[in-house]
Amino acid sequence: MPDLIVVGAGAAGLSAAIKVARSGFSVQIIEARNRIGGRMFTLRDPVWQVPIELGAEFIHGLPPEICRPLQRQRSDIAEVVGESWCSTKGRLSRCDFSSSVKSILEKMNCRGNDESFLSFLDRRFPNSTASKKQEARRRALAYVTGFDAADPGRVSVHWLVRSIRAEKQIDGDRAFRSKNGYDDLLDIFRQELIESKARVQTETVVESIAWSRGRAVVTAQQASKSLRLVAKRVLVTLPLGVLQASSRETGLVRFMPSLPRKKLEALKILQMGKAIRVTLRFRNRFWETMCPDQKNNKTLSHMNYLFTQDDWFPTWWTRMPDKLPILTGWAPARSAERLSGKSQPFVVRQALRSLASALKTKPSRLESLLDDTYFHDWQNDPFSRGAYSYGAVGSDGAQRALGTSLENTLFFAGEATDTTGHNGTVHGAIASGHRAASQILRGRSGRSTTDCGRLAEPNHETFA
């Protein structure tokens, strides 16, 4: 009987399992997929031999949970640089909205009752006839929708404030990529799993967890075989969307007895953000010679982001600083809802139409240049059921409640349980794994805070 069973081999589960196993505990990880990594899912383009991310792609800022392991392995990390372009009312120009959006976001605070971001905008920045104010408001909505994959009518201002403060602590306005994508981090995890002797069992779908103090029984399916696994403790690192699954949905895990009321309330108020991304490889960088700024003879050669007003794919990015013929389209929140469940050909056709409209060219031209496409529908993936989490209005303390251990037997981790303001990120997931591991090793709950005015400090000594 292992000392610990970890349900889920994503960033949280792997980081926790390794830390606990290094302390001499016997650890077994159970993963439903045929691979480790969870929402880190890297493919390799056969032509350009570069990573294609179907899930997490960017390293946001300089989080020690990711940067220190990569630096120890001397991984090649490059900062995302280049120019941001905006398509507004059919016209392409260099973006000039960061200061106006920043001024809006800085007006948010944690004083008083919580409210949605849309409610905050309507109260503090109502619709105006002034075009600059209208554009700033629209861009602020697009930022929250795009970056957080959140519904602006539901996402909490208190939650946004905590997230923004947390980002500032790690230079979160900067973005980086590792040379081999998140596979570089997973390679480190794979080696550490071997060294710590933590075992991984893939293609094993957990169906139920029966627990009482000091003992848990995990029932799972592996192919056509039913498994019954017993351990002293179980760490659950399932994505929020899976924990929220109804009794009729694939991937549901039943807890016996049921989870306590506070956890169930947290599951109701936390939200799973939706996002669809499609990566297109073309025969050449056709946009490189496009010259939308004829006056200054400025081309799109150094474009890294393209922001549009398109309802389907409002955001695009290139592989800058690498000048490769690859573009990724991003459809968050309601855009993702419209695309989720559609076939890959449908998504690609819509992406080409959206891109052609933004770049003022014909879809047929882009289709003739298209070489390959990459796509994964995380909403329809039964083992994720969404992209990443955010807090709805009134969610103060919900992450802490979801991450609280039960009877020193049932533990919880994952980006949705992170209390440091880094929900929705790989480093937030890793931090939650380290926090849960510390709880398991100490045999008691770790410290955190639900005070909107300050953040729980990450446990940095675990990254040394």
119 and 259 fall within a common domain: no
Q: Which residue has the tokens 């994959």?
A: 149
Q: Is residue 304 part of a domain?
A: no
Half-sphere CA count of 4, side-chain side, radius 13 A = 35
205 and 262 fall within a common domain: yes
Its pTM surpasses 0.95: no
Q: Is residue 338 part of a domain?
A: no
Return phi, psi of residue 53, to 5°: -90, 125
CB 299 within 8 A of CB 360: no
The structure tokens listed for 64 are 């020690």
CB 271 within 8 A of CB 326: no
pLDDT digits (tens, 9 = 90+) for 78-89: 999 999 999 987
Q: Which domain holds residue 225?
A: 4-39+181-270+393-463
| Residues paired with residue 52 on neighbouring β-strands, in sequence order | 43
Q: If you average pLDDT over every residue of the chain, what do you get?
A: 92
Residue type, 438: S
DSSP-assigned letter for residue 153:
T
Q: Is residue 128 part of a domain?
A: yes
* Integer Cα distance of 26 and 43 in angstroms: 31
Quickly count: other Cβ atoms within 10 Å of residue 263's Cβ: 20
Cα torsion 85, 89, 91, 92 to 10°: value is 10
Return phi, psi of residue 71, to 5°: -65, -40
* Integer Cα distance of 287 and 304 in angstroms: 11
In what helix (H) or strand (E) does residue 373 lie, and over which residues does it extend? strand 370-375
153 and 210 fall within a common domain: no
165 and 189 fall within a common domain: no
Tell me the mean pLDDT in the region 188-216. Answer: 97
214 and 162 fall within a common domain: no
333 pLDDT tier (thresholds 50, 70, 90): very high
Q: Is residue 329 part of a domain?
A: no
Among 143, 169, 195, where does a domain finish?
169
Q: How many residues does the chain have?
A: 464
pLDDT above 70 covers what percent of the chain?
Answer: 95
Q: Is residue 411 part of a domain?
A: yes
98 pLDDT tier (thresholds 50, 70, 90): confident
Among 115, 134, 169, where does a domain finish?
169
Which sign, positive or negative, has the C-alpha torsion 242, 12, 164, 147? negative
Q: Report whether pLDDT(464) > 70.
A: no
208 and 138 fall within a common domain: no
Number of folded domains that form the chain: 2
Q: CATH number for the domain including 412?
A: 3.50.50.60
The residue with greater pLDDT, 179 or 95, is 179
Phi-psi region of 141 (alpha: psi -120 to 50; beta: other; left: phi over 0): alpha
Residue type, 89: K
Q: Report whether pLDDT(164) > 70.
A: yes
Q: Measure CA 40 to chain center.
A: 9
| Residues paired with residue 259 on neighbouring β-strands, in sequence order | none
10 and 150 fall within a common domain: no
Q: Judging by beta carbons within 10 Å of its beta carbon (0-12, 13-18, 19+), is residue 373 exposed, middle or buried?
A: middle
* Integer Cα distance of 420 and 459 in angstroms: 10
Q: Is residue 157 part of a domain?
A: yes
261 and 118 fall within a common domain: no
Q: Is residue 443 part of a domain?
A: yes
